[in-house]
Amino acid sequence: MTKHSSFERQRRAAETVRVQEIERAWQGSIPGPIAAEFAAAVKAAKERGPQERPADMAPGTAPRPPRPGHEPKPKKEDATARRRY
């Protein structure tokens, strides 16, 4: 856990209060039915929770080939190793 100075904690708390004031002022400036619709949409989104992360690649998709000039290096053969025949 990160430790913050008391000044940093106070600054963040003041920032949070200010953001809440701005949100209340904005919600007060829009008409009632639109504000209610927006609040319902926000509530539904919070209840839904975070979305699952999509798969990196669709199943059965071939991986992309490397870009020209960025091919993987061939494996080195150990020159000091003795070979048995």
* CA distance linking residue 27 with residue 33, whole number of Å: 11
Q: What's the rounded mean pLDDT across residues 51-59?
A: 80
pLDDT-derived band of residue 64, with 50, 70 and 90 as boundaries?
confident
Contact present, 8 and 16 (Cβ < 8 Å): no
Handedness of CA 25, 31, 34, 35 (dihedral sign): positive
Q: Which of 33-37, 40-44, 75-79 has the lowest mean pLDDT?
A: 75-79
Classify residue 35 as exposed, middle or buried by CB count within 10 Å of its CB (0-12, 13-18, 19+): middle
Which tokens hold the place of 49? 């929770």
For the stretch 8-41, pLDDT in tens is: 999 999 999 999 999 999 989 999 999 999 999 9
Per-chain mean pLDDT for the chain: 87
Domain range annotation of the chain: 6-48
Q: What is the pTM of this model?
A: 0.48
